[in-house]
Structures are given as C-alpha cells and as structure tokens.
Structure 1
Amino acid sequence: MPDINYIDVFFSLQAFQEEELRGKSAVIIDVLRASSSITTAIHNGAKKVIPVADMSDAMKIATTMDNKDYLLCGEKDGSKIEGYHLGNSPAEYTRDAVRNKTLIFNTTNGTKAIKKASLANEVYVGTFLNQQSILNALKEHDDEVVLICSGWQGRLSIEDTLFAGSLLHSISGGHLPDSAKDGAKVAFGLFEKYGHDLEGAISKSDHAKRLAELVPNGDITFCCKVNEFDVLPGMRDGILKDLNG
C-alpha cells in the first residue's frame, strides 16, 4: 500500500503538468461520466478503449480501422458528438452495443486527463463503480500516487473530489494523519462531510446541475453505485484494457 503521506490529489486536469507525474502512478477520476462509462463498457465486454484528446485524433484512428470493429464514443459539453455512435452515458454501453468492439473515446475532461497522464508509471481509470478494484491495485504500489480529478473547465468538481476522498478514507482506515498532503486533506474532509449520501451530494453538484437537461434519467444514480464492477481499466501502450482480466 502506498504511504498515505505520498498520495496527492489534483483537482482538475489543468492543475498539473505532464512532467509532474513521471515516476508516479495516477488514478484518473471523472465520475460524471467518462470514468463511469469506460468502466461500464469494459465490464460489458468492450475489447479495448482508446482515449483521445479531441475529435481530430479520433477520426485519424478511425480511418485506420475496419468500420465493423470500432465505435466512436464521447461528448462535447455534455452532449453526444454529431456522427458518433455513442455518447457519454453509461446506460448506452450495454453488452449488445460494445461487446468485442474497440471504443475510440473522446470527452471534454476525462479523456484529456488520461492522455495528459501518459508519463506516469501506471494510469488507472477509477470511479465509485470499481472502487475496490482501484484499492486492490493501489495496495501493490510503493511509489507516489496521484489522484487526478478531471474537474470541469479547470475547476474543482465535488463528485470527483468525493471519490478521491473515499479512496483516501479507505487507505487510511478513516484516520488521515496531519502529515498528509493538502490536497488529500481537502478530499478526505469533503468525503467525511458528504460521503454518507453520495447521490444526494452529487445530484446537487454544479456539474449535475449543468448536465440536468442533457443526462438521461438514472445516470447520476448509476454513477453513485459503489463496487458494481470488478474491472480495472489501465493503460497499456495508449490503450485502456481490463488489468484484472
């Protein structure tokens, strides 16, 4: 298990530079909704997920593949991108839709954070749905760990920070030492205050309010489920696969 004093939290993808992750491991968190959709897709049999930073990169990769093998997936500002097969609702990533497919995934915050973390020793994608898988993976680490909240437009988002706090709460046994890093203290404190009612806190968040007219009914409830799936999306050569598989 990593030393709790060597776990830091970044509150948006703009809060760090790529070089800061060299020699460390990273957990990318985008509860609403990229982490939740990626985790659901892998659980439902997607062969692999290729995260990209923008639509241009997505199209370049798509042109190298057979039409039957891939799906273009993701959103811009919460809405499905025109011409894409799937948006960013976990409900879309059913077994029938994604089984044995390669997903080319592009979102406003989450996939950009994944790409930006490419220099890390390990990059995992985490959310409440696969919390225990993330904790199990971190038990094997003795390097520094950074919990990267994707946030929204450079700002803190309560749902991502709550998940970071839930990991810290579990790792520390509910007792964060005074020597912990400032970011860890903020995330831990937020979880202590609101962790008893994740859905209540997240449904009142700024991001949930922004998405209210765009997100299908049930998405927020689903994204707040804890330990729904035993999958560990992790990066290998630019591709996310289930490292538990």
Structure 2
Amino acid sequence: MANLKTLDVFFSSQSFHEEELRNKVVVVIDVLRASSTIITALMNQAKGIIPVEDMGEASRISQSVGSDNLLLCGEKDGIKIEGYDLGNSPFEYNSDTVKNKTLILNTTNGTKAIKKAVGSAELYVGSFLNLSTIVQTLHEEEKDIVLVCAGWRRRMAIEDLLFAGNIVHKLGNGSLHPEARDGAKVAFGLYDKFRDNIPEVIHSSNHAVRLKDLTDEKDVDYCSQTDICDILPVLNDGIITNFYAKKEV
C-alpha cells in the first residue's frame, strides 16, 4: 500500500538531486508532450523507446545500433529536430509508423527528467492518458514514491503539477495525509482547486500557449484526455517498454 506520508512531488527536473530518488519508485510526468507521446507510441506497439538527453547521445546510439527498425525522434524548443524521422507530436506516432520499431527520443524537458531519474528503484512514465493505470500501480507499491514533473526549461509547468495532484488525490481517496510532504500538499491543493476544469486550465497554461504558437492545437486537446489506455511505460536497461506487454510474453 502506498505510503502517503512520504509521497513527494518535485516541480521540475532541476528541483532535486539524483540521490533523492535512490530506492524509490518514480513517475516522470511531462504532459505536454513527452509522456503523452511515449504512451501513444507504446499504445501503437512501438517495440521500445530509448530516452536520451541530447542530440549527441541520440547520434551515438543510432550509429551503434544501425537498424532499419530504428527511428530518431524528438524536438528542441517544441520544433522537430532537423534530420529526425519524427518530432514530438503524439499524432506522428501512429501504428503504421512506429509498430515494431525502436525509437530514440530526445526532448527539451521530458527525456532529460527521465535520464536524471534513472537511478531510482523503478521508473514509470505517466500522463492523463494513463492516469488510472499509474494510480493502480502506485497503490501496490511499498517503497517511497516520488512524482517528478519535467516542467519547462527549469520552471514549473502547471499541467504536470495538476497531474501529480490528481495522483495524490486518488491515492488518498480525496484526502491529504496530515503529515504530507510540502510538494504533495501543493500538488493536491492545485488539483483540488481546478479539478473540474482540467482541459481548460491546460489550454491556458504557459506551455500550451507556447506550443499552440508552434503546432496545431489538437496536440493539447489530445494530451488533455484522461484514461484512454492502460499502458504502463517502465524503464529497464535504458529502454522504455509497456510493462503489461512484457508480462504477456
């Protein structure tokens, strides 16, 4: 059963040191858009996703693997990287494109947060798209839980914090532990205030406004949906796969 007293929330990938995640279960959250894109790719039967921190790492891995079933994917400041196969819109990750492919993913915020959290005991990727699956998984965890919001360029992103608050709210059945950590309190309070208007709040967020200047508004609409799948992305040996697909093998 999840320990709600020790449950913590970090507001960006810059708000913690790697040592703070040792022996803990971590959920990395980047609603707009890396988490949502990773979930969508796995939903459309991508073989796995290799998160990288920068273009140099992506290039080294792609050269060493050299497979026809490998796709270079990602964005810098919201824009698809020149020469890459795919950007970071979940709509690019359809079944015809990603099925049975391994994806190298490089994003401005999300994959950097994942890389920083690799020393945790278990690392999952969450967004509103797989909310209930994440909550169900965390309910069964005995280790301490940390929700890591990727944020945007070292700053808080309200959509990530809203999702973290949604998790805290559901794990506590609508109540906050009296000795809850400050991060969990803030996330819970934010979600409790805006819980009836999640899509509207996401659309008006700083990150969404920036994104809509660069791409179609449909990305924000898509990422604001709740529970469209039961995908559980988990990182093992540097590759993110669907936990349930792995269990079925």
For Structure 1 versus Structure 2, the TM-score category normalised by the shorter chain is over 0.9
Q: Which runs of 5+ in 2 are unaligned?
A: none
User: Where do 1:183-198 residues align within 5 Å?
Assistant: 183-198=183-198
Counterpart position of 1:31: 31
Letter in 2 for 1:235: L
Q: Secondary structure at the match of 1:63?
A: helix
Counterpart position of 1:157: 157
Runs of 4+ in 1 over 6 A off after TM superposition: none
Distance 1:241 1:81 in 2: 23
Q: CA deviation at 1:41?
A: 0.1
Counterpart position of 1:143: 143
Q: CA deviation at 1:140?
A: 2.0
Q: Secondary structure at the match of 2:241?
A: strand
1:123 and 2:123 aligned: yes
Distance 1:49 1:67 in 2: 14
Counterpart position of 2:206: 206
Counterpart position of 1:7: 7
User: Where do 1:47-66 residues align within 5 Å?
Assistant: 47-66=47-66
Q: Secondary structure at the match of 1:229?
A: coil
Q: CA deviation at 1:178?
A: 2.5
Distance 2:100 2:214 in 1: 28
Q: CA deviation at 1:88?
A: 0.5
1:134 and 2:97 aligned: no
Q: Which runs of 5+ in 1 are unaligned?
A: none
Q: CA deviation at 1:155?
A: 1.0
User: Where do 1:83-122 residues align within 5 Å?
Assistant: 83-122=83-122
Q: CA deviation at 1:67?
A: 4.1
Q: Secondary structure at the match of 1:124?
A: strand
Counterpart position of 2:17: 17
Q: Secondary structure at the match of 1:5?
A: coil
Letter in 1 for 2:203: S
Q: Secondary structure at the match of 1:167?
A: helix
Distance 1:127 1:75 in 2: 19
Deviates more, 1:64-73 or 1:229-238: 64-73
Counterpart position of 1:173: 173
Q: Percent identity?
A: 52
Q: TM-score w.r.t. structure 2 length?
A: 0.97
Alpha-carbon RMSD: 0.9
Q: TM-score w.r.t. structure 1 length?
A: 0.98
